[in-house]
Amino acid sequence: MLKKLLIYIVFFLMQGSLAFADTTNPSPELSFEKGKPIEYKLSLGDYSTQSVHSNDINLRAERDNQRAWVGYYKESSTGFDQWRGGYERTDQLFMVNLDTSLQVATHGFLGGSITATTTDPFFGMIGYGVTNLKPYANLNFDPNDAITLGVGYKKENGPSVTLFVVRDVRVVPGQQNTHLLMQFPLQNKQRFSLDVFNKSGPTDPGQSINSVGASITYDWPSYFLRIAYDPKVNFTQDDMTRITIGIRF
């Protein structure tokens, strides 16, 4: 029943009838074109550690200030699998862009987040995420029950740099990921992104870890490729290599 519900989330968007369309006047940063065709992104992920190999497929739909997705994750070595679906929107409140999201998944998972970001060129961000602590394949690879704090700079039609921290405040307090994300627009609507991150804090058994990883993403107008190396992924003793390819249509 839940699998059908997750599929209906994206099917609903495909009909072009988003019921919660923003009625406020967007700022230049949120200059959504009303009636613009729905944009889709289909991505395929391959994740490998010393003990687990897994695959993921995700379909994301975006229209105006709203986004929805449905995905499926499976671990070949353990047999664990999970369907998921979610909804996210961006609204402007005065000089702040407010992102809210909700995600449901099989195995009884439910989670949500809210993030406020000031407008550019210099900006700050603060966010909070919470879940019901049910089993969940964490493909964000950051703590979910956490606060997010960050600062950054974005030049119009130019490069951007963001420094932010995601810190667990509920499950294992003290776990945190610190990211330095740099994005560089290139010719012909291409873009290069580099995310360097440091993972620090206690693991579940009480041991402390400190590791550095990175991901590289290259975007073309209709395709993208992301390669990542994530040591001590999700604060385990495993090191993960991730390859994700995607298509936009």
Report residue 7: phi and psi, to 5°. -65, -35
Which of 18-32, 184-198, 199-213, 229-243 has the least mean pLDDT?
18-32
**How many structural domains is the chain composed of?**
1
Quote the mean pLDDT of the chain: 88
Please report, rounded to a whole number, the percentage of residues in the chain having pLDDT higher than 90: 77
The secondary element (H helix, E strand) that includes residue 3 is helix 2-14
State the pLDDT confidence band at 114, using cuts at 50, 70 and 90.
very high
Residue 23 belongs to some domain of the structure: no
pLDDT of residue 6: 53
In the three-class reduction of DSSP (H, G, I as helix; E, B as strand; rest coil), residue 135 is classed as: coil
Residues 6+ apart with CB under 8 A from 244: 43, 44, 45, 46, 224, 225, 226, 227, 228
pLDDT higher than threshold 60 for residue 39: yes
pLDDT of residue 219: 98
pLDDT digits (tens, 9 = 90+) for 67-98: 999 999 999 989 999 999 999 999 998 889 99
The CATH number that applies at residue 181 is 2.40.160.40
- CA angle at 238 for the pair 43 and 228, rounded to the nearest 5°: 35
Give me the domain span that covers residue 215: 2-16+28-248
- Residue 185 forms part of a structural domain: yes
Whether 183 is in a domain gets the answer: yes
Instruction: HSE, CB side, 13 Å, CA atoms: give it for residue 212.
Output: 2
Please state, in angstroms and as integers, the Cα–Cα distance from residue 238 to each residue in 134, 136, 223, 233, 234, following that order.
22, 17, 29, 6, 9
- Please report, in angstroms and rounded to a whole number, the separation of the first and last CA atoms in the chain: 28
With tokens 């005065």, the residue in question is 94
